[in-house]
Amino acid sequence: MTPGEFERAIITISKEHLATLPAAEYPGEICLIDRKNQVADAVSELKESKIIGFDTETRPSFKRGQHYSVSLIQLATPDKCFLFRTNLIGYPKELIKLIEDPEILKVGLSIHDDFINLRKSATFSPQGFVDLQSFVKEFKIADNSLSRVYAILFGKRISKGQRLTNWEANELTQQQKIYASLDANACIQIYQFLKDGKFDPHTSEYLVLPPEPIEEIQEIKEGEE
């Protein structure tokens, strides 16, 4: 690939190829926070980490006009994920202060949407966040979904089988806990892998040249004539 072609190239993985990859596994500990008296200790432990992975889950709606508030906030260190069941505990001040702390690095993907949903239930100003959707663009990764970015970097597939399950169930299943924890932990893995210079876009097997814009093709044809 010439330098000019590389400038125009993007990194993307097809849905078909993604489906062939082995499933990713969550490597760490899971701590469920479903009582308010657990929040302070959990936040204190999170604040000791140099980086926190962030994600949310919301009970899916299958009826027109029906909407639910965020059911779960996942905040992960590299080896442990805390699952805050906000449908049960609300938004304690310790949790809000952590989300608002500009000195604590928090990494998520498509966090703008998460913030919109969170603000329907609580008032706060999130700070200290990195949105991977923008960050990965610096490495020519065009895909926006967590599962695709993770697959491009690590060759494994994050299963989305639990995404549309009931996140307000009386008891979360082990599968739900693992799914939620992996999503938050994956944000840390992606950020650190890219930040540490372990990914070279030049050598990615998913580097491709996108189709030329129709206008550009038309100009070339007219010039040839």
Per-residue pLDDT of the chain (225 residues; tens, 9 = 90+): 788 889 999 999 999 999 999 999 998 999 999 999 999 999 999 999 999 999 999 887 766 766 778 999 999 999 999 999 999 999 999 999 999 999 999 999 999 989 998 988 888 899 999 999 999 999 999 999 999 999 999 999 998 877 778 999 999 999 999 999 999 999 999 999 999 999 999 999 999 998 876 554 444 444 444
Q: What value does the CA radius of gyration of the chain take, rounded to a whole number of Å?
A: 20
CA distances from 16 to 139, 147, 159 (A): 23, 13, 14
Report the DSSP pairing between strands 70-77 and 80-84.
antiparallel
Task: Please list, in sequence order, all residues whose beta carbon lies within 8 angstroms of the beta carbon of residue 16, skipping any fewer than 6 positions away.
Answer: none
Residue with tokens 């909407």: 67
Dihedral sign of CA atoms 179, 150, 120, 59 in order: negative
Whole-model pTM: value is: 0.89
Chain center to CA of 183: 6
